[in-house]
């Protein structure tokens, strides 16, 4: 027999209903609420509030709302408050009930401006500490990379710096406010050069060009640990900042956050500079970082066919002639070596080497550090580390897309820093919850052992190769002595 049409009649009172029973047992927010203590924020922000006036919303509740904003990729703070009353699991996660008052969306933006970046950096650090305690961070092999975040501004409506400064000055005169705007609570963006174009909507954003596309925005620089892909350091800069200049600062932040010095680092060629190689050599850090190589003209001798003689500080060309250093000052960190024109004119291999003028050769002032980095690791180990970088670092940014990473939600360097810290913390929380579930510890240990076995195999191959080369050298020297 078919049942009657289902029509729920409104009741005046509801009894026996608890949100805890309505939220399913395997809801991800249950594990997050059990693992993360959001109440740490209360004593941290207490000095920022007064002792008189109306009571504020619980800071722990505000932090949970900001967490949900990115965790569930809600399009706006207004939408978050509109959807909050419809989501029983969100209400339960925030410690609210069915009849609780929903805060106004403006309290989130006000709290974010009042707290600054320190609170969110502490939140990221506390989550990272839990990952370290759960043995999810090895700290020895790390991967460094950056990714662009498009600014919340129109790049077609840029203005020159001088014009924008004049407009701001006239606006202050019109409002009779001689005082300059209040200073921000973190390091400001680098001052743009006069005549450069910036956005009046988001003056901290900068233009950059990558893969043939011009982007106005910011960069998120990350250090990702190899064991489980936990983010150990993050820094936000305008998009025009060079990646190579951030490497050593990120490694120092990694050491400070985890208490462990990185023993090996993998990164792309944007970080392959002589300065970075020199500092990595001083710190005894193995680097799998390629660099841009100068390409010779087709049909001519390559750079690897010219041998450097450190005793005489000269290069020896394939024909056996010496090229000595010229008296010119270094050009962009390079010194020049040249062979005499008469020597090149009489050389029978001139057609394979140079044109009408004598051959010149440029050497980086930190070429020794570059050669050290090139010869540091066997090719198999280097390829393996660079493959791991693609999995961990690029995979970390790909995973961040589910939290709205590629588009700036707010404007300015400080809000963008907050956004990237929150997203990185959320990704680490998900790692912590994933590997902390029942039975996952054995999986982490097994995965770690597999990686160690593979590393040991590669290092063993390298050691055997070096020992073989040393033995062959000794045999050849002994044969020469007997001869």
Assess whether pLDDT exceeds 80 at residue 4.
Answer: no
391: Cβ contacts below 8 Å, ≥ 6 apart: 229
CATH number of 136-157+207-291+374-436: 3.30.420.10
Using the CB atoms, write b or e for 327-363: b if 16+ within 10 Å. eeeeeeeebbbbbeeebbeebeebeebbeeebbebeb
Give me the pLDDT at residue 447, please: 57
Q: Of 31-45, 156-170, 222-236, 418-432, where does mean pLDDT reach its minimum?
A: 156-170
pLDDT top residue among 257 and 291: 257
Give me the pLDDT at residue 177, please: 47
The dihedral through the CA atoms of 427, 429, 431, 433 has a sign that is negative
pLDDT band at 482 (very low <50, low <70, confident <90, very high): very low
Residue 252 burial by CB count (10 A; 0-12/13-18/19+): exposed, middle or buried?
Answer: middle
Give me the pLDDT at residue 161, please: 56
Assess whether pLDDT exceeds 60 at residue 168.
Answer: no
pLDDT tens track for 131-144: 999 999 998 999 99
pLDDT tens track for 333-366: 788 888 877 777 778 777 677 766 667 777 888 8
pLDDT band at 300 (very low <50, low <70, confident <90, very high): confident
DSSP string of 308-327, one letter each residue: EETTTTEEE-TTS-EEEEPS
Q: Of 100-109, 234-243, 248-257, 331-340, where does mean pLDDT reach its minimum?
A: 331-340
Give me the pLDDT at residue 82, please: 93
Assess whether pLDDT exceeds 70 at residue 221.
Answer: yes
Calpha distance 201→243 (Å, rounded): 25
Using the CB atoms, write b or e for 122-151: b if 16+ within 10 Å. bbbebbbebbbebebbbbbbbbbbbbbbeb
pLDDT tens track for 87-119: 999 999 999 988 888 999 999 999 999 999 999
Residue 399's φ and ψ, nearest 5 degrees, are: -65, -30
pLDDT top residue among 464 and 341: 341
Give me the pLDDT at residue 457, please: 58
Assess whether pLDDT exceeds 70 at residue 204.
Answer: yes
Calpha distance 344→321 (Å, rounded): 9
Query: β-pairing, 197-198 with 360-364?
Result: unpaired
Q: Please, what is the angle between helix 59-71 and helix 77-84, to 10°?
A: 100
Give me the pLDDT at residue 73, please: 93
């Amino acid at each position: 027999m078919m049942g009657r049409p289902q029509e729920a009649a409104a009741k005046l009172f509801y009894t026996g209903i608890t949100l805890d029973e309505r939220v399913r047992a395997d809801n991800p927010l249950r594990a997050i609420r059990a693992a993360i203590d959001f109440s740490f924020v209360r004593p941290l922000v207490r000095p920022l509030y007064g002792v008189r006036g109306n009571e504020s919303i619980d800071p722990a509740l505000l932090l949970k709302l900001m967490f949900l904003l990115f965790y569930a990729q809600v399009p706006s703070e207004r939408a978050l408050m509109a959807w909050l009353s419809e989501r029983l699991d969100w209400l339960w996660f925030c410690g609210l009930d069915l009849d609780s008052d929903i805060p106004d969306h403006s309290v989130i933006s006000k709290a974010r401006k009042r707290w600054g970046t320190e609170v969110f950096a502490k939140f990221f650090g506390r989550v990272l500490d839990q990952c370290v305690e759960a043995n999810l961070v090895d700290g020895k092999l790390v991967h460094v990379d950056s990714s662009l975040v498009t600014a919340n501004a129109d790049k077609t409506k840029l203005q020159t710096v001088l014009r924008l400064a004049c407009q701001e000055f006239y606006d202050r005169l019109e409002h009779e406010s001689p005082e300059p705007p209040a200073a921000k609570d973190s390091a400001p963006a680098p001052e743009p050069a006069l005549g450069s174009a910036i956005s009046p909507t988001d003056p901290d954003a900068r233009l950059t060009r990558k893969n043939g596309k011009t982007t106005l925005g910011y960069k998120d620089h990350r250090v990702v640990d190899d064991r489980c892909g936990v983010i150990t350091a993050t820094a936000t800069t305008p998009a025009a900042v060079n990646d190579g200049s951030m490497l050593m600062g990120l490694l120092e932040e990694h050491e400070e956050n985890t208490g462990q010095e990185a023993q090996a680092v993998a990164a792309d060629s944007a970080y392959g500079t002589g300065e970075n190689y020199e500092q990595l050599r001083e710190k005894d850090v193995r680097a799998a970082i390629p660099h841009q190589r100068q390409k010779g003209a087709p049909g001519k001798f390559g750079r690897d066919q010219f041998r450097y003689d450190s005793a005489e500080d000269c290069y020896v060309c394939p024909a056996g002639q010496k090229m000595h250093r010229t008296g010119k000052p270094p050009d962009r960190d390079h010194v020049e070596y040249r062979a005499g024109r008469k020597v090149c004119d009489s050389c029978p291999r001139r057609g394979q080497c140079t044109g009408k003028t004598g051959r010149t050769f440029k050497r980086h002032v930190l070429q020794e550090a570059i050669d050290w980095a090139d010869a540091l690791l066997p090719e198999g180990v280097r390829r393996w580390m660079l493959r791991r970088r693609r999995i961990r670092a690029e995979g970390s940014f790909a995973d961040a897309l589910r939290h709205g990473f590629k588009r700036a939600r707010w404007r300015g360097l400080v809000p963008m820093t907050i956004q990237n810290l929150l997203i990185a913390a959320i990704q680490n929380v998900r790692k912590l919850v994933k590997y902390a579930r029942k039975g996952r510890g054995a999986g982490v240990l097994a995965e770690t052992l597999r990686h160690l076995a593979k590393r040991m195999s590669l290092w063993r191959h390298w050691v055997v190769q070096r020992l073989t080369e040393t033995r062959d050298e000794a045999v050849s020297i002994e044969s020469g002595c007997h001869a």
